[in-house]
Structure 1
Amino acid sequence: MTGMVLLVCCGLTVLLCVPVQAYENFALHLPAWQSSTAWSYTADRAVDGRYTDLRWSGGQCAASDGEQTAEWRVDLEGLRSINYVVIQYVTDNIVWDEYNWFSSYFLGFSVYISNTTNKEDGVLCFKDTNYTRATIPNPVNISCPYHGRYVIYYNNRTHPPFPEGYSDYSDTDLCEVEVYDCPEGLYGLKCLQNCSMTCGYPGTCNMMTGHCHGGCQVGWTGAMCEKGYHLAINNTHENMYLLKTLNISAIK
């Protein structure tokens, strides 16, 4: 997805105009890995931005050898504040319904967010326990309001008998995995908080903590530039400048 830019202006003493970026796929072209590889269908094909051909053999999808477990991950190359993940599974370019053979391989999948390559070190973002071949969506949009470096797709067929409709073994079969971060100007769980307009770079901050980038605007202090102050001159022979904190809430 191409990031769109909106111009948001806020009137203070001077006019502050801040570019706010729309959601952007941060997994695009980043390093990817999978537990095994079928033919030449390597893990990076699931983050190459191409999914116009959803055939297993179409050259745009990652695929593993059929095994008891299938695992795929993307390295976001740093800790990110993740909002949601979109998975486009193989369809073979035929209608996605209960008669599509690949739906049986998609059932039961999990998504983890981790700071290491080990999914057990992270948090389980989603685990399919309810879908059937008739109800599993494709693509699927998964809310993942967590912080982490690795997004991990996992599926297994290790404990038979399996639920009705499940395949006997698992594959990755991922045509695209998109990971969406907080847009510029927002931070925190589910990206619901606005960065302060009194930051040194107005409206830009750490996506996890909300701490300002570039210090604070003149007249403001604090990690989130939330404390207002003014300079007062002490009329003594030293002419010392005093910093007085005001009880002012920062503009968010």
Structure 2
Amino acid sequence: MAIWGVVRLVFTLYVIISPSRFEVATSSRQDPDKWPPEAAVDGNVQNNDVDFCAHTRVKNATKAWWRVDLGHKTTIINITIYYRGKSITSTSVKSQLHNILLGEFAGYQIYVSNSTKRSRAKLCFKDTSTSLEEVKNIISHQCQYVARYVMIYNFRNEEKDHSWYSKSAVLELCEVQVFACVPGKHGDVCENDCSYNCKDKTCIQENGNCVGCVRGKQGLQCTKNCSINCTECKQDDGICTGKIMPSTINVFLENTGLSVSWSALKIATTPYVIKQRAFVEVGGFYCLEIPFVMRERKSLLDL
């Protein structure tokens, strides 16, 4: 069972998610007209009436999830959930219903990712409450990642983890607020700029470290250059992953047994005809090994 939506961002120093358009996964909810997925991002935090909530209830479901698409990679700060709470006037019945709802919510997980697949997402939070008293139906979680999708997920095994868990997996989400920095910003109140060399201009809210670098850059905030002969490298250690340009050319003169080295710039003016070429590793560097045929007699000092 699943519901998900696509949202726009309302930009201030912080961002709170609000809806623009929504797409709903098929066969995932009890009544999409009454309890649609967008009800969880409509700005209404009232959580004491199911008619204001997104609802995934399907009898005997083992999995339930709700996902929102932020539209692009976003520097997330925290996520606040308003789960459905008590809504019946009688105190004793109200308390009983409230406990049932907490038993539904218990065990929930929050994932963030840049993919719609949960298997590729990062787990931001997992509820491990051991009693109903520990479960809160209005709660905020720090979730400092750069991601496009936020998913709330729950499941039920054949044998429940706790006796007070609900039998079926279900989510009744009245509001989900994702607080984030506007693109290119980070800091406690999003007051600092991400490095210009951060890929997609996104960085970690807490420390400004980039989540990936533009081509040719490396380091936590992408302030260092890759090796002079490397077009792209790993952010953390600078190991080259892109095209390696030759820095030294080992030239072997056919039928002479002699070899010399020169810079790549001299290749265009070489007085020799290239027969074949191949990249070889020499002392940890990649060099271009070129056998030549003598076309005219030249002193090695002239090369």
Asked whether the two chains share a fold, i.e. TM above 0.5, the reply is yes
Residue aligning to 1:62: 54
Deviation, structure 1 residue 38? 1.5
Equivalent residue number for residue 29 of structure 2: 37
Secondary structure in 1 matching 2:38: helix
Amino acid of the structure 1 residue aligned with 2:77 = N
Change (3 A) 1:111 1:33: farther
Which of the two has higher C-alpha Rg?
2
User: Which residue type is aligned with residue 194 of structure 1?
Assistant: N
Query: Kindly tell me: are residues 33 and 158 of structure 1, through their superposed partners in 2, closer, same or farther at Cα, counting changes over 3 Å?
Result: farther
Using CA pairs under 8 Å that are at least 6 residues apart, name the structure with larger relative contact order, 1 or 2.
1
Structure 1: 5+ residue stretches without partners: 5-20, 200-204, 212-223, 227-252
Aligned pair in 2 of structure 1 residues 91, 146: CA closer, same or farther (>3 Å)? Answer: same
Equivalent in the alignment of 1:82: 76
1:149 maps to 2:151: no
Query: 1:135 & 1:118 partners in 2: Cα distance?
Result: 30
| Residue 116 of structure 2: aligned partner | 117
TM-score in terms of structure 1 length = 0.63
Change (3 A) 1:146 1:27: farther
- After superposition, give the CA deviation of every residue in 1:139-193 in whole Å (9 maximum; x if it has no partner): 11011111111100000012413313101011121000110102688427x7777
Give the gaps of 5 or more residues in structure 2. 1-8, 210-220, 224-303
Provide the secondary structure at the position in 2 that maps to 1:45: helix
Residue identity opposite 1:83 in structure 2: I
Deviations 1:192-250 (A, max 9, x none): 77228xx9xxxxx9341769xxxxxxxxxxxx9x9xxxxxxxxxxxxxxxxxxxxxxxx
Contact kept? 1:43, 1:63, Cα under 8 Å: yes
In structure 2, what is the Cα distance between the partners aligned to 1:97 and 1:148?
Answer: 37
> Does the CA contact (< 8 Å) of 2:17 and 2:177 recur in 1?
yes
Greater mean deviation of Cα atoms: 87-96 or 157-166? 87-96
Query: What is the deviation of 1:73?
Result: 0.2
Question: Aligned AA for 2:147?
Answer: G
Counterpart of 1:138 in structure 2 is 137
User: Do the aligned residues in 2 keep the contact of 1:71 with 1:172 (CA within 8 Å)?
Assistant: yes
The AA in structure 2 aligned to 1:42 is P
The aligned residue for residue 195 of structure 1 is 193
2:46 maps to 52
Give the Cα separation in 2 of the matches to 1:192 and 1:23: 7
In structure 1, what residue type is equivalent to 2:178?
Answer: V
- After TM superposition, the score normalised by the length of structure 2 is 0.53
Write the letter of the residue equivalent to 2:16: N
Checking the alignment, whether the CA contact within 8 Å between 1:69 and 1:156 is kept in structure 2 is: yes
CA 1:97–1:131 in structure 2 vs 1: closer, same or farther (change >3 Å)?
farther
Quote the Cα distance in structure 2 between the aligned partners of 1:186 and 1:28: 22
Which SS does the other structure have where 1:102 is aligned? helix
After superposition, the CA RMSD in angstroms is 3.6
Would you say the 8 A contact 1:112–1:125 is kept in 2? yes
C-alpha change, 1:74 and 1:183, in structure 2 (3 Å) is: same
Q: Distance in 1 between matches of 2:120 and 2:136?
A: 28
Which secondary structure does the structure 1 equivalent of 2:16 belong to? coil
- 1-structure distance, mates of 2:189, 2:201: 11
What letter is aligned with 2:40?
A
Question: What's the offset of the Cα at 1:30?
Answer: 5.6
Counterparts in 2 of 1:30 and 1:88: CA distance versus 1, 3 Å: farther
CA distance in 1, matches of 2:143, 2:114: 14
- Does the 8 Å CA contact 2:56/2:64 hold for their aligned counterparts? yes
| Corresponding residue pairs, total | 189
CA 1:207–1:30 in structure 2 vs 1: closer, same or farther (change >3 Å)? farther
Higher helix share: 2
Moved more, 106-115 or 45-54: 45-54
SS of 1:25's partner is strand
Alignment of 1:212-227 (within 5 A): none
Contact 1:81-1:182 at 8 Å conserved across structures: yes
